[in-house]
Chains A and B, each alone.
Chain A
Amino acid sequence: MMRETSDTVCEVVLPDALLRLYPEAERRLAVAAADVGSLIDELDQRWPGMGACLRDSRPSVRKHISIMIDGERSALETKIAPGATVFVLTAVSGG
Chain B
Amino acid sequence: MSSSGEPSPALYDSGSFRDPTSRVWRDGDRILRGLDETAAADWNAAREAAFFAAAIERGDIVATSEVNGASPDGRAWTTVLEHERIPIVSYAHEWSFTMLQDAALLTLRLVRAAIDDDITSKDASAYNVQFVGAKPVFIDVPSFEPYRAGEAWWGYRQFCQLFLFPLMFTAYKDLPHQPWLRGAVDGITPEHARRVLQGKRAGHKGYLSHVWLHAKADSRFKDGSADTVTEMKNAGYKKELYIATIDRLIKLVDGLSWERSESTWGDYSDRGHYESKELLLKGDFVRRIVGQQPRNQVWDVGANDGMFSRIAAENSETVLAMDADDLVVDRLYRDLRESGTTGILPMVMNFADPSPGIGWDGAERPPLSQRSSPDVILALAVIHHLALTHNVPTSSILDLFRSLGSKIVLEVPTEDDQMVKTLMRHKRAGTHDAYTLEHIERQIEERFDVRERKVLPGETRVLFHLAS
Bound together: no
Which of A's residues lie within 8 Å of B, judged by CB?
Answer: none
Which of B's residues lie within 8 Å of A, judged by CB?
Answer: none
